[in-house]
Amino acid sequence: MKTAALFDVDGTLTPPRQPITESMVRIIDRLCVPFSVAAGSHLPLLKKQFFEPLFQYGYRKKFNAFLSNGAIQYLCDFSEGLSVLPVKSFNIREFLGESDYRFLIDTLEKTLDLSEFKLPGSLKVFDNTIVFRDSMVNFVPIGRLKVEGPEAQTNRNNFVAFDNKDRKNGYRLDVMAHLNRELAPLIEKKGLKITLGGQTSFDIGIVGKDKTNAVTTLFESGVERVVFFGDALFEGGNDYAIREFEKTWPADSPHKIETVHVHSYKDTIDQLRQFGFLFE
């Protein structure tokens, strides 16, 4: 059975919001099965975090990258240079139409103005809290910087601690419940879906225009078994669509899906060894 390994990036192949390490690139280079990635982030953010260091540390093969929560496909050819070319795209703004897209953005902006979702003064808000990523919208209560320095990293860590403190469900889960209520018309009419993105944000996309797109595309290319590794396979996480896909996949199908929850990029290495996916 032709098997392919499919990976989330942030928190699975890299430390959270940090570049991939040289040792992890060495592991990827030792894979004995085809390799693809399905990431929540978009290309500009992943260049510094993943693509450039992957090439810098000597990776020289071809692979597929499904970015912006899996909806936009790129063919990556590092054999002669750092080449990342678009293959298939999707635009959430065009899909929703201007009126519904404006309703979405207005709802996000108003949410952070509500007293119940005001952040404490100890947390800073950097740059944009709403980031358009072509196929999805990334909503970040503490804002998104193109490059995170020590101050932003400390702020991120403080937000992660705050997210799980003094609330029954957690700050982001409370915000997500509110957004699901306020955006119910788009959820019902347009298939809008809100998931947790990484440690600090929300990924807002369209059902089917997510990481399951990577799985079906690999099947169409001749792969018979896809093993997905991700750190957000829990309900509400931006990898969960693949776990739901796995649960409803027909048992008699010639194609097989497996999902593997990992706790860090180091755990990913241990899991790859257990699966026998590395040349020793």
**Domains assigned to the chain:** 3-90+209-275 (3.40.50.1000), 92-206 (3.30.1240.20)
pLDDT computed for residue 17 by the predictor:
84
pLDDT computed for residue 150 by the predictor:
87
Please provide the DSSP assignment of 81-141 as one string. S-EEEEEE---HHHHH-HHHHHHHHHHHHHHTTSGGGPPPTTS---SEEEEE-SS-EEEEE
Counting residues of the chain whose pLDDT is more than 70, the rounded percentage is: 98
pLDDT in tens, 167-191: 567 899 999 999 999 999 999 999 9
* Residue 229 predicted with pLDDT over 90: yes
pLDDT computed for residue 236 by the predictor:
87
pLDDT computed for residue 110 by the predictor:
97
- Whole-angstrom Cα distance, residue 183 to residue 198? 21
* Residue 166 predicted with pLDDT over 60: no
* Residue 146 predicted with pLDDT over 70: no
